[in-house]
Amino acid sequence: MKLSLFSLFSLFASVAVAAPAVPGWRFDLKAERSGIVALEAIVVSPTLVVFFDRASDDPLQINNHSAWGALWNLETSTVRPLDVLTNSFCASGALLSNGTMASVGGDPRGFPGNPDIEPGLQGLRIFEPCASPTGDGCTLFEDPQTLHLLESRWYPSSIRIFDGSLLIVGGTHVNENFYNLHPANSFEFFPRKEDTPRPSAFLERSLPANLFPRIFALPDGKVFMVAGNQSIIYDIEANTERILPDLPNNVHVTNPIDGSAILLPLSPPDFVPEVLVCGGTQTDPIDPLLLSSQTPATTQCSRITLTEEGIAKGWEVEHMLEPRTMPELVHIPNGQVLIANGARSGFAAIKQVQDPIGNSNSDHAVLVPSLYTPDAPLGLRISNAGMPSSGIARVYHSSITLTPQGNFLVAGSNPNANTTVGPGIKFPSEFRVQTLDPPFMFVERPKILNTPEKLAFNKSFTVPISIPLTLARPGAKVQVSLMDLGFSSHAFHSSARLVFMDATISQNRKSLTFTTPPNGRVFPPGPATIFLTIDDVTSEGAWVMMGSGNSPPTLE
Ligand SMILES: *[C@@H]1O[C@H](CO)[C@@H](O)[C@H](O)[C@H]1NC(C)=O
Ligand SMILES: *[C@@H]1O[C@H](CO)[C@@H](O)[C@H](O)[C@H]1NC(C)=O
Ligand SMILES: *[C@@H]1O[C@H](CO)[C@@H](O)[C@H](O)[C@H]1NC(C)=O
Ligand SMILES: *[C@@H]1O[C@H](CO)[C@@H](O)[C@H](O)[C@H]1NC(C)=O
Ligand SMILES: *[C@@H]1O[C@H](CO)[C@@H](O)[C@H](O)[C@H]1NC(C)=O
């Protein structure tokens, strides 16, 4: 009997080994390189991503000079240059309510040997909606003399707000060495709402490490902001700020002491906003020569619920599996959050701390992403079980974005002043492009077969779908997410948003009925991607226009 029990076990063991491998997460290296350092990335159509670099000596050429803008084709994994006039280095951007991408701010400088560069500080770069899947005929529009920001801004943040326009926050007036010593402590809008920028006491207080403030449009139309270790809710309509508790334990999270932050998924009926802030460093912003590439980053994540009760309770602390400076937090359509990129020690920016690695202020790149599950119990939310290693350091000036296909595009990294340093350097200018493919990319997926081009707010829509037999299970978990894929720059995904919609699948599993968010405060009007997830298997995204598609400002 004992023997047969043993053989039963070994039978199970061999069955387990022989069974087809459960598909896991995979990094996939693309043959084509990005051509420019993709330090900013934004999905602008179902097939196209705009990359921006600084005006530099990138290998990709246009009009006989190095390009610093490019279009990445998600279908073919190929790149083509974009002609940019102003220096887009360390800019921000977003999609507007009419589908146009606006890139804002940038670097005051030109670059030796690259002649055609205008200063980017007040830059406003317009990429109109592009219907060509390959980007044929789609170009950037710039007219720096007449179309520019009110104030000079290097390292600003920007988000689409409830009326479909951009709120632009902070930045610096000059090419700073490390901290923000010439701050643009103000807010402005694109299109303009007034002729002068709005002064911000919050930005004043959060100096000197307050570049790229982490900001979110809340479902009541107000804006949450975190910079340094301070946070507020800003009321755009009343132009007032409400001070929230500081992040605990002296953790600072904005450039050059970069952590990251994300607005967790919003769910009907109440769309209660919760913010998660992860990484950064437990240090005061002191003399950079007292900081080191080996200064440990923090493992801390801090989470707050933005209701009266939640604010009274304050920040709840939990910990990542490893310390991370410059992590990026990205929504996954099933409501989890991907924590990717960054390093275990050091800081953002280039060669200012006492012992840079080559030119890098950071060291010990983190290669394995983690998953954060918002509704798991505290202490059990973060895991990297089964997550692969990227094999490629993605430190300062890297980017990552969810794509309409449902996987992640990972590119960039360059803690150097140009692209010609090396070879043999530990953190080179990185042109290799990867996707990070979730397990559902390797199985039969549900499909959204068709959607209206435009979706009105607070309405119910029924669309045709197909569901593979493998997922046709009674009681399967169905999730429909309406997402803004965000603008990735400097370890922050501005405007990124996931709003779950109430949804049901018909008896015959051939149609899906969902209800759009009540108004543009819950999901600012503009381009959106809808994903259908059944038991954690996610469809490709359907690219739609949430709202009227009118130019901003618009309330529908
Ligand atoms: C690029 O340079 C070549 C050779 O110098 C010249 O013939 C060509 O006209 C230039 N093209 C542009 C767009 O300036
Ligand atoms: C926030 O940062 C300031 C300046 O670095 C520091 O003095 C303060 O103690 C920090 N607050 C908390 C709650 O850690
Ligand atoms: C590129 O950077 C290196 C080191 O930072 C510097 O020596 C070199 O002059 C730079 N090249 C250009 C063209 O700026
Ligand atoms: C949404 O529509 C329902 C009726 O379907 C209505 O009762 C409700 O007031 C609407 N909400 C908004 C925010 O317009
Ligand atoms: C969208 O609005 C912006 C801001 O007013 C404008 O610059 C752009 O041309 C508009 N695009 C379209 C397609 O209407």
CB of 418 closer than 6 angstroms to any ligand 3 atom? yes
The count of other CB atoms within 10 Å of the CB of residue 243 is 12
Write the residue with the smallest CA distance to atom 12 of ligand 1: 63
CB of 458 closer than 6 angstroms to any ligand 4 atom? yes
Write the residue with the smallest CA distance to atom 13 of ligand 3: 112
- Say if CB 202 and CB 191 are below 8 A apart: no
Q: How far is the CA of 268 from the centre of ligand 4 (A)?
A: 13
Index of the ligand 2 atom closest to the CA of residue 284 = 5
d(C-alpha 556, C-alpha 554), whole Å: 6
Ligand that lies nearest to the alpha carbon of residue 419, given by its number in the listed order: 3
Widest CA span of the chain, in angstroms?
89
For residue 537, give the DSSP letter. E
pLDDT at site 326: 98
Q: How far is the CA of 64 from the centre of ligand 1 (A)?
A: 6
d(C-alpha 118, C-alpha 136), whole Å: 25
- Say if CB 156 and CB 104 are below 8 A apart: yes
d(C-alpha 511, C-alpha 532), whole Å: 11
The per-residue pLDDT for range 326-369, each reduced to its tens digit, is: 999 999 999 999 999 999 999 999 999 999 999 999 999 999 99
Write the residue with the smallest CA distance to atom 12 of ligand 3: 418
For residue 118, give the DSSP letter. B
The residue whose CB lies within 8 Å of the most ligand 3 atoms, and thus the one to mutate among 68, 359, 420, is 420
In the predicted model, what is the mean pLDDT of the chain?
95
- Say if CB 467 and CB 534 are below 8 A apart: yes
CB of 116 closer than 6 angstroms to any ligand 1 atom? no
Strands 214-217 and 198-199, by their bridges, are unpaired
Tokens at 17, concatenated: 């080994």
In degrees rounded to 5, what are phi and psi of residue 525?
Answer: -55, 135
Amino acid identity for residue 447 in this structure: K
Write the residue with the smallest CA distance to atom 13 of ligand 4: 518
Index of the ligand 3 atom closest to the CA of residue 113 = 13
Q: How far is the CA of 79 from the centre of ligand 5 (A)?
A: 25
The per-residue pLDDT for range 507-535, each reduced to its tens digit, is: 999 999 999 999 999 999 999 999 999 99
CB of 519 closer than 6 angstroms to any ligand 4 atom? yes
Query: Which carries the bigger pLDDT value, residue 123 or residue 420?
Result: 123
Tell me the DSSP string of 54-69.
-SS--S-EETTEE-SE
**Rama region for 105: left / alpha / beta (φ>0; ψ in -120 to 50; rest):** left
CB of 491 closer than 6 angstroms to any ligand 5 atom? no
Query: What letters, b where the CB count within 10 A reaches 16 and e where it falls short, cover 84-122?
Result: bbbbbbbbbbbbbbbbbbbbbbbbbbebeebeebbbbbb
CB of 63 closer than 6 angstroms to any ligand 1 atom? yes
Q: How far is the CA of 518 from the centre of ligand 4 (A)?
A: 7
The residue whose CB lies within 8 Å of the most ligand 4 atoms, and thus the one to mutate among 458, 460, 461, is 458
Index of the ligand 4 atom closest to the CA of residue 460 = 5
pLDDT at site 21: 61
Q: How far is the CA of 30 from the centre of ligand 1 (A)?
A: 30
The per-residue pLDDT for range 206-252, each reduced to its tens digit, is: 999 999 999 999 999 999 999 999 999 999 999 999 999 999 999 99
Cα-based distances in Å from 438 to 327, 333, 365, 481: 19, 11, 22, 17
Cα-based distances in Å from 392 to 59, 260, 358, 493, 545: 20, 20, 17, 20, 35
- Say if CB 410 and CB 342 are below 8 A apart: no
The residue whose CB lies within 8 Å of the most ligand 2 atoms, and thus the one to mutate among 202, 229, 287, 302, is 229
Q: Can you give the pTM of this predicted structure?
A: 0.95
Q: How far is the CA of 286 from the centre of ligand 2 (A)?
A: 12
Write the residue with the smallest CA distance to atom 14 of ligand 3: 418
Write the residue with the smallest CA distance to atom 11 of ligand 5: 100
CB of 425 closer than 6 angstroms to any ligand 3 atom? no
In degrees rounded to 5, what are phi and psi of residue 491?
Answer: 60, 30
d(C-alpha 126, C-alpha 103), whole Å: 7
pLDDT at site 17: 44
256, HSE (Cβ side, Cα atoms, 13 Å): 28
The per-residue pLDDT for range 412-451, each reduced to its tens digit, is: 999 999 998 877 899 999 999 999 999 999 999 999 999 9
Residues 6+ apart with CB under 8 A from 5: none
Question: Torsion over CA of 25, 31, 37 and 39, rounded to 10 degrees?
Answer: -20
CB of 550 closer than 6 angstroms to any ligand 5 atom? no
Q: Residue 114's pLDDT band (boundaries 50, 70, 90)?
A: confident
Question: Torsion over CA of 497, 499, 505 and 510, rounded to 10 degrees?
Answer: -30
d(C-alpha 9, C-alpha 395), whole Å: 46
CB of 553 closer than 6 angstroms to any ligand 5 atom? no
The per-residue pLDDT for range 283-338, each reduced to its tens digit, is: 999 999 999 999 999 999 999 999 999 999 999 999 999 999 999 999 999 999 99
Q: Which of 11, 161, 144, 142 is nearest to 83 (CA)?
A: 142
Interior CA angle at 88 toward 392 and 109, to 5°? Answer: 110
d(C-alpha 253, C-alpha 210), whole Å: 8
Query: What letters, b where the CB count within 10 A reaches 16 and e where it falls short, cover 386-425?
Result: ebbebebbbbbbbbbbbbbbbbbbbbbbbbbebbebeeee
CB of 417 closer than 6 angstroms to any ligand 3 atom? yes
Index of the ligand 5 atom closest to the CA of residue 190 = 4
The per-residue pLDDT for range 11-21, each reduced to its tens digit, is: 344 444 444 56
CB of 518 closer than 6 angstroms to any ligand 4 atom? yes
d(C-alpha 235, C-alpha 221), whole Å: 8
d(C-alpha 68, C-alpha 73), whole Å: 16
Q: What is the mean pLDDT of residues 189-196?
A: 98
Q: How far is the CA of 176 from the centre of ligand 3 (A)?
A: 18
Write the residue with the smallest CA distance to atom 4 of ligand 5: 191
**Rama region for 473: left / alpha / beta (φ>0; ψ in -120 to 50; rest):** beta
Note every long-range contact of 305-313, with CB atoms under 8 Å and residues 24 or more positions apart, other chains counting: 305/272, 305/273, 305/274, 306/218, 306/224, 306/233, 306/272, 306/273, 306/274, 306/275, 307/272, 310/272, 310/274, 311/244, 311/245
Placement of tokens 């953190």 in the chain: 427
Q: What is the mean pLDDT of residues 170-192?
A: 97
Whether residue 406 has pLDDT greater than 50: yes
The residue whose CB lies within 8 Å of the most ligand 1 atoms, and thus the one to mutate among 62, 64, 65, 114, is 64
Q: Residue 43's pLDDT band (boundaries 50, 70, 90)?
A: very high
Q: How far is the CA of 255 from the centre of ligand 4 (A)?
A: 41
Q: Which of 114-123, 273-282, 284-293 has the lowest mean pLDDT?
A: 114-123
Q: Which of 228-232, 265-269, 433-437, 472-476 has the lowest mean pLDDT?
A: 472-476
Say what percent of the chain tops pLDDT 70. 96
Tokens at 236, concatenated: 């755009």
Beta bridge partners of 528: 544
Q: Residue 551's pLDDT band (boundaries 50, 70, 90)?
A: very high
pLDDT at site 19: 45
The residue whose CB lies within 8 Å of the most ligand 5 atoms, and thus the one to mutate among 44, 45, 95, 96, is 96
Residues 6+ apart with CB under 8 A from 382: 301, 318, 319, 320, 321, 339, 370, 371, 372, 373
pLDDT at site 424: 86
d(C-alpha 251, C-alpha 248), whole Å: 6
Index of the ligand 1 atom closest to the CA of residue 63 = 13
CB of 191 closer than 6 angstroms to any ligand 5 atom? yes
